[in-house]
Amino acid sequence: MVELQGITVIYNKGMSNEQKALSEVFLFVHDGEFVTIIGPNGAGKSTLLKVILGEVNPLRGKYLIDGRMMNGKPPHYLARFIGRVYQDPNTGIFPSLSIKENLLIASRKGIRSVGFSRLKKRGLDLLKGLGLGLEKRLDVLAGELSGGQKQSLAMIMAVFSGPSLLLLDEHTAALDPRSAKNVMDLTKRINAEQGITVIMITHNMEFAGMYGTRLVEFHEGSLIKSDNRKTHSTKDSKGLRISLSSN
């Protein structure tokens, strides 16, 4: 469904600080997959997400969603197909708006006249599914919620309009362990129940092992491993270690 064919990104091309961020990346993500991307800082993971979101135009290569060429499309156009959640809980929500207004914005994907009453049931169902009691606090400002609640709301908002793809950029990094686990469970549920394809960047190897159905590894701008096998994690005395096993 999402196809990246030979994507190359070079920042500051022709200048003294020229930097190759992605080099000939080929990646095919099928419908309903849960792809986890790992790699050290500067490996090109976030640049890959920026290409998918239309925030960075690749120097070479093709980018397609459902067979349609997406090179050069503006971010707000691509947003119709893609939901996203970032590390900072405040970036995925609108803190000065109420929860209800946040859902209203999330529901329409662009400026269209949609009354909240039409979407109320779906919005309430999604909020109830969180188990945080947000469905009873629709008029509370989103900025007044805790970090975990904000990120959960951001997840709901990202999938409210039924996107084809959900991009997650270290979306649990700023949360406490319990909130992070809850948000990851929610991510898994969204993937399983709504069939939304998920691409998740993480530094958390436990989550990468537990939740992803495919593990993709980047290093210095190149995709060095794409394993279609199911992953699971084990813990030894030295810390966490990921092991991969065939389906």
Partner 1 sequence: MLAIVEQGLILCLLAIGVYIAFRVVHLPDLTVDGSFALGAAIAVRSIVSGATPVLAISLAAAGGAAAGFITSIIHRKLKVNVLLAGILVMTMVYSVNLRIMGGPNLPVPRVFGQQEVVSYERMSGGTMLDDLFADQGLIEEETPPPIRERTVVAFFTNRLDGSDLAKISIVVISAVIILGAFLKTDLGTSLRAFGCNPSGVTAFGMSQTFLAIIGLLTANLMVGLSGGLFALYSGFADVSLGQGMVVTGLASVILGEIIFGKVKFLYGLLAPVAGGVLYQALLSTAMRYGYRIGFLASDMKLLTALFVISVIGVRQLASSPRKQRFKAEVKKLWLNSRGSQ
Binding site for partner 1 (CB under 8 A): 74-77, 79-80, 83-84, 90-97, 101, 104-106, 108-114, 143, 157-158, 161
Handedness of CA 46, 79, 189, 150 (dihedral sign): positive
Which two tokens mark 51?
């290409």
Q: Report the residue number, 199 or 215, with the smaller CB distance to partner 1.
A: 199
Q: How far is the CB of 108 from partner 1 (least distance, A)?
A: 7
- Residue placing its CB nearer to partner 1 in the complex, 33 or 169: 169
DSSP 33-99: -EEEEE--TTSSHHHHHHHHHTSS--SEEEEEETTEE-TT--HHHHTTTEEEE-SSGGGSS-TTSBH
Distance separating alpha carbons of residues 95 and 147, to the nearest angstrom = 12
